[in-house]
Structure 1
Amino acid sequence: MPTNDKPINGQHRPNSILDLPELPPAIEDKPRLARLRTAWKESWEEGGFLYQRWEELLKARHAGWHEIANWIKATGLLVGISLIVMMVDTAGDITSAALKGLSTVPDSPTGDGNGLWGTVDHPIRVFFAQQAAHLTVAPAALYAFWQLAGLLGLIGGFFGNAGARITWVLFGCGSLAMIWSASPAGGRAAATGIAALMWALASIFALRGLTLRPIVHNHPPQFQPQFNPALHLHATLPGPAPAGDDFDDEDDNIHPLQR
């Protein structure tokens, strides 16, 4: 079979694809773990991605809100919102469990009303027993809720919480009204008076630091600059005449006075 072996531009032209020059072998890729290790080291070098993020974290401790990096602000807001959602969800579960527990409290006896504390506690139990007959809740649940409200008002008021102090005031007024309503007619005034004294003594702790006197803040007067108007006149006086100068010889400088 004839072949066409004529050179082209001084070079031999191959007749088939088998005569093509062999390509150099491909460079084998580095293992993936080695590439990841190299990228990790480069990111921590000066100017790398992780190095810059770490510098921004260090600067955020002493920088203001407007100087903090945006990704730190976004992360902080996301974490804060997540914590708030978790706390609200947990508080809802705790409140629901507490209300269910109060609704299933077994009935307790109203007591015999003996003693100083029985004089105050027995009318409240009787009042709850009378009112629970017209409600779908047990008297013990109402009594437990009344105790819980008083305890929260006492503790919260001691730490200066305004809502807890309002709760404590309403708790005391409601207790006095219940004692007055459920106490025997002959000892109603005495039972209500003893309850009022007990509530007043407990208010020493619940309303600690509360005063009805207006708070007056005496601040020293601020410095006010004084303004003293003054009028300054600038007059230019002629200088002394030079020695030996005779004005009589200069007729041009003499002008008659005109009226």
Structure 2
Amino acid sequence: MQSNDNTGPGRQELAYLPVPLPKEPAKPSRLAALREALRDWWDRAWDIDGVLYDMWDDVLSAPDDGLRHMAPWLRAVLMVAGVSFIVLMAKGAGEVLLQALHQILTAVPKVQVGVDTSNGVAAVVDQPVRTYIAQHSTGLPVAASTVYTLWLLTGITGLLLGFLTRNNGVRAMWTAWGAATVFMVWTATPDTSRPVAAGLAALAWTLLSAVALRGLTLRRRVIGRPAKVSVRPEIHIPVPYPVPAEPAEQHPHSSCPFRD
């Protein structure tokens, strides 16, 4: 009988075959892990009591709460945005003002002083001022045209800042400027027309003072707070006290035991 044994002569032994090991799962990349972490954080932030959920709720409730009672972080954001906007506007306005001032100062040597360069009603005030400055600016380290330009800038600044800020110092500057202008008109105008020119200058100064001195009052300002008077429309009705009834008068003979 033939044997099934493969170890006999003339039989080739089978080679050893290695058993394949199970493959390990591939690790996710760092970008995928970061994306997954961000997705988890986003989901948790929009859950109830999450960070983004609370912030969005603060934004929705801000119109009803008002500036005083809104969330502190939202108030800080609005304040920073407002300050930044004001700074940008001030920077732009400052550049425009500096450019205009530069143009005015560069045009100063072209201003003619002491010459009739104006006409109309404005010439009644402008020409005497030019003449006065031209007569009394000799020997100064600055030109007469520069003094005239500074005179114009002082009047315009006092008029605008007095209207906008209501500052007492600016109003005092405007008052001194107007008085000096009337004095120059009175001095440099010929004697025949001096009262009329000075009167027109004073009238123009008074009309412009209604703008520069807006809100000025001579009433005494009360520093303390006025006393609060509380009026309560209550009606008190007095309650009458009960009056004891008087005993009925008895007949003098009603209690006599010998009465028939």
TM-score by length of 2: 0.56
Q: State the match for 1:169 in structure 2.
A: 175
Alpha-carbon offset, residue 129 of structure 1: 3.4
1:100-115 to 2 correspondences below 5 Å = 100-105=102-107, 106-109=109-112, 110-111=115-116
| Uncovered stretches (5+) of structure 2, i.e. residues with no partner | 1-17, 232-260
Q: State the match for 1:63 in structure 2.
A: 65
When residues 87 and 128 of structure 1 are mapped into structure 2, their CA distance, relative to the original with a 3 A threshold, is farther
Of 113, 123, 126, 1:121 maps to: 126
1:4-15 to 2 correspondences below 5 Å = none
Partner SS, residue 180 of structure 1 = helix
1:159-238 to 2 correspondences below 5 Å = 161-162=166-167, 165-184=171-190, 187-208=193-214, 210-214=216-220, 222-223=229-230
Q: Percent identity of the aligned residues? A: 34
- Number of positions where the alignment pairs a residue of Structure 1 with one of Structure 2: 206
When residues 94 and 129 of structure 1 are mapped into structure 2, their CA distance, relative to the original with a 3 A threshold, is farther
Paired letter, 1:25: P
Contact in 1 for aligned 2:129/2:184 (Cα 8 Å): yes
Paired letter, 1:107: K
| Uncovered stretches (5+) of structure 1, i.e. residues with no partner | 1-17, 225-259
Are residue 24 (structure 1) and residue 30 (structure 2) matched?
A: no
Q: State the match for 1:50 in structure 2.
A: 52
Alpha-carbon offset, residue 40 of structure 1: 4.5
Paired letter, 2:84: S
Alpha-carbon offset, residue 57 of structure 1: 2.0
Paired letter, 2:24: P
Alpha-carbon offset, residue 104 of structure 1: 0.9
Please provide the CA RMSD for this pair.
4.3
